[in-house]
Structures are given as C-alpha cells and as structure tokens.
Structure 1
Amino acid sequence: MTVPTDLRRDEALRSLRDQVATPVALPGEPGYERCRPWNVVAPVEPAAVVLATSPEDVAGTVRFAAAHGFRVTVQATGHGAVGVGPDTILIQTSAMRHVSVDVVNGTARVGAGARWQDVLDVATPHGLAPLCGSAPGVGVIGYLTGGGIGPLVRTYGLSSDHVRSFDVVIGEGRLLRAAPDENADLFWGLRGGKATLGIVTSAEIDLLLVPEFYGGAVYFAADDVADVLRAWAAWCVDLPETINTSIAIQQLPPLPEVPEPLAGRMTVAVRYAAVGDVDEAEQALAPMRAVATPVLDTVGVLPYAAIGAVHADPVDPMPINEDQALLRELPPEAVEALLAAAGPESGSPQAIVELRHLGGALAREATHRSAFCHRNAAFSLAVIGVPAPEIAGMVIAHAGAVTGAVAPWSTGGQMPNFAPSYDPARPSRVYTDDTLHWLAGLADRYDPARTLATGQVIRTVV
C-alpha cells in the first residue's frame, strides 16, 4: 500500500522533535496557535511551529528542513506577516527575548524574539536609549533587518546603521557572525534585506545617550485638518535635524484605550520629537500649536522610556491593510491631492493616513554601507486601514487611490518594513536594480537549496 504524501510529511515533521530540544507543534496541537501573527489578516498556516529558545533550535530546524524538502520562515511578533503555507516550517522566536546591556560601552545584545519594549526596560534606567521604532511592541530583529525609520530618524539616522553585529543562521543551517570585519557581505545584506540572507538569532546594537526628549503629539479636530496639513507641509521644510515630526489624519475607533477627544471621529495629529534645548524645541513647535485650537496636546518633556507616546500606535493584534509611497517633495499641489483623497470630505475609510518628514541624518550614507535604499526620500506616506469583512474591498482599493493621488511627486520607492506583500513588483520598489542583483547573488551563495526562500526575500529567477 502506498502511504499518502501528507502522512509521510506528518511523520517526517514529528521526527523534527528528535532534532531540536524545544517544543514542535503541528496543526491542531498545543502551541500551534502561537503562529498567529500580530496582523491577523495574514494567512499563517505553516506545516509546523518550532518554539525556539536558542540559536541551536533555529540551526537544527533549518538543517532538518533542508534535508526533508521544507522551507523555513521566522516570526517574533508578526507585525509584518504576509502569509505562510503548509510547505513551510515557522520558527517562533518570542521566547528568545534576552537583552543584556553593557553600560560602559553603551551597547546592548538583543535576542531574536525581543521587542523594543524589552530593550527600553533594561537600557533607559541607565540613561541609554535604543534607536527604536514608533511602536515599542514591534520585534527588534525584524525592524532592524528592514532598516528602521524611528521617531528620531532625522537626528540619528537609520536604526540599522547602529547595529554592530548579527548572529545569523544561513540556509545550510550554520550559525555565523556578521559584522564589518567578519562576513561583511552578510552584514551589508542583513541591514535592509529582511530575511533574504538568513535567520538572525541575536544582534549587538549601539545605545545612545538620550535620557529624555521634548515630544508627544498635538491633535486637532476634523474641521482643522486642511489648515493643519497645509501649515505642517510649509513648516517642516526648514526644521533642524534635532527636530522630527510626522502628521497623521486619524479615524480611531471608540475603544476604552482611545482618549475621548479622538475616539470615533476624524482628527489630525502633529507628532513631534526633539532633542537638545527644550526652550528652542518648544519655540519651534509654537507655529503649529497656533494654527488652530488643539483638542488634545500631549507634548512636553518626556523620559526616553516613553518614546512610544509620540505615535501612540495600537498594541493589540488586529487586521491591517497597508500601502506606502515615498515622496521626493511635498508641494502645495501634493497637499491638496492628499486632502481630496483622505481629508474630511473624502469619505476615507482609512484608520491612519500618515506623512513622516525624512531627510536629515537619514539622507547621509552610514559608515558601513547597507542594502537599505531610498535615503533620498523627503517624506514617507503610509496608509493604514482595518479591512473588516464588510468593507475590506473598499479599504484596499481606497489605499491604492490615496498613494495614487500623490504619484506625481512619488519616487516610486517603498521601504522594507512598510506595506509588506507578495506583489511581484514590490522588490523593484523596495530596492534599486544594483541592490537586487547583489542580494540575489548573496542569497544563492548562502542558501543554495533555497530553504529560506519564502516570505519577503530576494532570489534570482529560476
């Protein structure tokens, strides 16, 4: 009698338990539910979930997959999840949350499953600041391998520019160190190339001497959206690098965690984060505070531990649809186009339509070059909606209409950490042709069997 293929597959997967010293869950077994990503709209249904606790678990899983014809992907939080199918083993790294801080040298070593909040909790009591993203609940490693555009990006640059080294498992199941002086090609590609070249098990990062900052957000009512957006576009042009800002047209749900002035209605938030002299930072913000009467003003001197208050991103898992565009400029015509597409009279179904002011330190090449592209973008536009079943089609189509409205001023690019998708055209938006060539060549070298060729990775066409 011929044994059905799926039974052979399940038998092989059960033998994975003999290869790794950590729990392995197949569909329907306890622990399998841990594969549920933060973005719950992504269809994540792997062949098995490995609840890794060590680099050896990761390496053993990759070797097993290569020997049995499976692919491997990795997930810590699932903020950037794009879907996982039954031909893939998912390594869940959330148990690898160790963080150690070297106060003397101003560095931290961070495990594969750590979130930025874990690093903040350990580093900020010493007056040290990790260059994290806007949401402290996001995983450190996924954020860094995508480059990392945080609330202080104009002042200190790309977060991945502050990585000293990675420990990474490549497609053959070997653990390597990647740093400027060791496997430098891997080090180049891991900073911006996401999981193209391997599964990162830990990273060493620089910590900054930023015990506090002047920041938060000033919120205005729907009637003031147009005036505030027009003023913001003109105001931010000449800001010094010590000042970082973004603006978001928001329609937040009436939930208990949403402040009453913002819940269930359209508002516009001017986000602000400045380092240096507090009086100067306050004076620089004054013109925006004067545009209209705020409905809520949270800006003040904050400890760096409260950096998440600038954007106040949602914490709980939820369905998300994203689109993104990078802009080379934001002239008045672009502002009017955006207002027509997403302003108070547009009927927009989006939860957030956000512009981030870029430039500054981001625009300068780092000491060690990386695979991250598009440093020349002046603004980032992000469109974020909740595709509830009854409006999912409308949310997705409208997101494309918003980014399309600013197409005349777009660079045509996107960033690795924004708007993840399997769109075959996406890699050419995220990377230059030269970077695509080098990433694909390195992937062929470090993962010749294509064991890691799943998700948002770059490979040569076969």
Structure 2
Amino acid sequence: MDVAGLRAVVTGPVFVPADEGYAAETATYNLTVVPAPSVVVGAVDAADVRAAVRFAVAGGLPVAVLGAGHGSAVSSAGAVMITTRRLGGISIDVHARTARVEAGVRWAELIEQLAKVGLAALNGSSPTVTVVSYTIGGGLGPFGRKHGYAADHVTALDVVTADGELRRVDAERDPELFWALRGGKGNFGVVVAIEFGLFPIPSFYGGGIFFPGELAGEVLHLFRRWVKDVPEEMSASVGLLHLPPAPFVPEPLRDRLVAHLRITYLGDAAQGERLVAPFRALGAPIIDAVTELPYAAIASVHSDPVDPLPLFERGALLHDLPAEAVDAVLELAGPGAPSPLVLAEIRHLGGALSRPPAVPNAVGNRDETLFNVFLVAAGGPPDAEAMLAYEQRLIDALAPWSTGRRYLNFMFAADSAPQTAVLAWSPEAYPRLREIKRRYDPANVFRINHNIPPAG
C-alpha cells in the first residue's frame, strides 16, 4: 500500500496500526468493538473522503466509516477506515426551517444550536450519536409518532460513491440513489453532509418517571393498555433498567431495578398531565421528572449514558403487545429474574412512523410495526456468549408477536449475518436496493455494515 502517497494527497491525518494515535482515532462508543483497519484517514473535508475511497478501490480494500461508533457491527480488519469527527459544519436556515449538517456532528451539538432559534430536529434519544449516521439509518426519535422518521424529512445529501466522485443527491438528481440513501445507511457511499427540514418545537411536555422495580409489572401492563388510545402527539417507551452502583447514576437509582417511563408530548401541558395521570396513580415514584421542558433538554427524557461502555445489544419489532408479551418480558427482565440486562425497553411506534412519507424512501418495515424492543447487556468479551444468548432467549419468548423484521439502527454485531441483515428492509424494497447497489457500488466496497450485496 502506498500510504505515503495517500498522506501526500489528504489534508487530515493518516494512521496505520503502528502509529501513535491509531487507537484514539479508531476508538468507538461501544467498547466491545475493537476496529482493526489497515489504514485510517481522519477526513477534514469531502476531498479527503474522495481520496480515501479511491485509495481503497485501487488497493481492492473495503471502506469502513466511523462516526461516534455506537453502531459499529462488522469487523473492519483490512479495511480503509474514514473517520468523520472533523467534519463539523452546521448551517441553519431559520426562515426556511432547514439545516445542513456534516457527517461528524453529534446530536448534542446540533440540539444546542437549534434550541437557540426555537427550532427542533427529529433527533434520537442519545446526544452522542452522529446526526448523519442516525438519519440515514432511519432515525427513530422521541417526536416520531407525530412527525415520522428523520429520514422522511431529508431533502438532499452530499455523498462520495465508490467511483470516488462527490455527488449532490436529491429528488431531482439521482432520485434512485436518493431513495436508497435514506434508509440504506452506509451501503451506497460515504455521506459527508445532509440537509433536512426542521420543526418549530421550542418546548414540549415530557421527561422520565422512575418507578421502583416492584411496580414494573403494573407499569408495563398499564403501558400496553394506555398506548391504544394516546394521540400521535404522544411518543413513549418503558425501559426496565438495572443500573450499576456507579457515580454517574443518581444515588436513588443505583444497583436496583427500576421501571423508567419516558414520554414526549407535543401538545398542551395540561393535557399532557391528564394523559400521564394514570401512571402517577400507580404509586410513589423514585424520581418524577416529567414536566414542561425546553427542546434543549430533550436528552434528559431517556438519559442515555454518554461515556463509552462495553455493550451487547439486540432488537425486535412487534405487531402487538398483549398481556402475554408483557409477562414474557417480566419473566426474563423483571423483578427476581436472573437477568444480565441493563436495559429492556419497549417503545411505542405507530402514528406517522407507520405511514409512508411524502417523498418515499428505503426505511423499511413500517406498516404492521407498533413496538420496538431494545435489549442491552454490559460486559467484557468473556461475557459475550452468555449475554447474547440471554437476549436471544427474550426475543424468542416474544416471537408470537414479532413481525420477524428488524429496525436498522437497532441492529448490531449479532445481527450482521446476511440472513439477518436482510430483515432491515421490506421484501418489496430489497431487490430495488440491490439493483441500486449494483449501479453505484458493484464491487461492494461499502460492505463494513449490515450489507446489501449488489444484484447479480
């Protein structure tokens, strides 16, 4: 490999495994993933991305892209890795209610700027995920039932394809690629910037209520009945959390099971109070932080950890949540269960998340999906087999109500096999995605992901 030649044509740093700085450059949020690319390019602009892609193609190597490293799933051994953290541009058009965001920007940075002008985006629960990676994977967030997926509101993307060209893609230019990029994640190129619509949401009614674990059954059974009648302005989930005795955990929540109700309501606060009242009637919570909040505080709803952790994660989509399904969750993740899980979350979908967007895209599995299940266990490599097996045991217990499909942004290393990766997209969309892949990446250069192989 002509690494010296690569260094000569890029502005950002270039690392090989023997270099000081290689480990820091390839560090991920999920500490169970240890990237091992042959070369790493710390891109500072689109020209660096183009050079890195051309270098990879010339050497017959795959391309891996690393943002924050939340969703790293497939081994990058032998790849050319492009890190995007230096691509930090943000441009907000208040009048048009649009934003242009480069690939290294994390949600915390964009939320801070949007809150200053009274606008909001369809962010996710974690403030440390990159905006671009989250959005091109679909983008399921706390305003989703009202406004749909983040990908539904993308208007343009700047992407470097496998031929090393920088393309501006929208509904008029490369409409097929535009369709595929919004929901196909990293399969079609390196997205260096994205443009999307914003919403006038300066504040909302919401937050989290932490109930003691002994009320977990009552909370979950109320939740399954309650979601049948809530308006689309209400997005909600319940997470059964077993938090460690760590300093970053509030003292009342340490080393105990809690049931965490998370809500965001885009309506009148008084009506929000009435909607939440049945939960407050269950019993005294440990912490009740549901109130009217500024958009700047949106991350407090889920209170996701911001520091890197060793995580094993699985997900599933359900078409229904009857009492038997809740009982299956409680048996394996509720009070008294010998569970290694730090989180078992059930998130209510439906509403705009179940309808096709105004401009169609590749985000799959909308129609019959009403709930997303997300499981997280924490531990080191020796724990992997046991933890993944336990998560699979819970997913198997929910099989009678499963759609059999998956949500791409909640698919991780255990879901990277081809027969599982295909479940991220609808059976109708998948052949179209493969044909677009054949056109733009026939050699499958972008395969360090939940891969869509090219047709033929």
TM-score (norm 1): 0.95
Task: Give the % identical residues.
Answer: 38
Give how far 1:455 is off.
2.2
Shift of residue 390, structure 1, vs aligned partner: 5.2
| Residue from 427, 434, 441 that aligns with 1:440 | 434
Output aligned runs, 1:96-107, within 5 Å: 96-107=87-98
> Partner of 1:20 in structure 2?
10
2:366 pairs, out of 375, 385, 395, with 375
Q: Aligned partners of 1:134, 1:455: CA distance in 2, in Å?
A: 22
TM-superposed CA distance for 1:207, in Å, is 1.1
Q: Pairwise mapping of residues 252-401 of structure 1 onto structure 2 (< 5 A)? A: 252-376=243-367, 377-389=369-381, 391-401=383-393
The letter of the residue matching 1:19 is V
> Within 1, Cα distance between the matches of 2:9 and 2:447?
22
Task: Give the whole-Å Cα distance in 2 for the aligned partners of 1:71 and 1:308.
Answer: 35
The match for 1:449 is: 443
Do 1:231 and 1:291's aligned partners in 2 also have CA atoms closer than 8 Å? Answer: no
Contact 1:45 1:83 in 2 (8 A): no
The match for 2:123 is 132
- Name the structure 1 match of 2:409: 417
1:240 to 227, 231, 238: 231
Cα deviation for residue 461 of structure 1 reads 6.9
Matched, 1:141 2:161: no
Partner amino acid, structure 2, of 1:450: N
Query: 2:233–2:266: 8 Å Cα contact kept in structure 1?
Result: yes
Equivalent of residue 429 in structure 1, options 414, 423, 429? 423
Inter-partner Cα distance in structure 1 for 2:241 and 2:420? 26
CA displacement, residues 367-414 of structure 1 (integer Å, 9 cap, x when unaligned): 111111111200000101113345333211100011111100000011
Paired positions, count = 452
1:35 aligns with 2:22: no
* Structure 1 residue 38 displacement after superposition: 0.8
- Structure 1 contact 133–150 (Cα < 8 Å) conserved: yes
- Give yes or no for contact 2:76–2:448 (8 Å, CA) kept in 1: no
Please tell me the residue identity of whatever aligns with 2:288. Answer: D
Which of 385, 389, 396 is the aligned partner of 1:404? 396
Cα distance in structure 2, aligned partners of 1:117 and 1:391: 31
Equivalent residue letter for 2:356: E
Q: Report the AA paired with residue 369 of structure 1.
A: P
Partner of 1:3: none
What is the Cα deviation at residue 71 of structure 1?
A: 1.4
Q: TM-score scaled by structure 2?
A: 0.97
Shift of 1:60: 1.1
Equivalences for 1:4-15 in 2 at 5 Å?
9=1, 12-15=2-5
CA–CA distance in 2 between the matches of 1:146 and 1:26? 29
Separation in 2 of the partners of 1:158 and 1:216?
20
C-alpha distance in 2 between matches for 1:155 and 1:384: 27
Equivalent residues in 2 for 1:123-272 (5 A)?
123-272=114-263
Amino acid aligned to 1:49: V
Structure 2 SS opposite 1:287? helix
Per-residue CA deviation, residues 181-214 of structure 1 (Å, 9 max, x unaligned), is 1111111001110111111000011111000001
Look up the equivalent residue of 2:374 and give its one-letter code.
A
* Contact 1:341/1:405 (<8 A) preserved: no
Residue of structure 1 equivalent to 2:75: 84
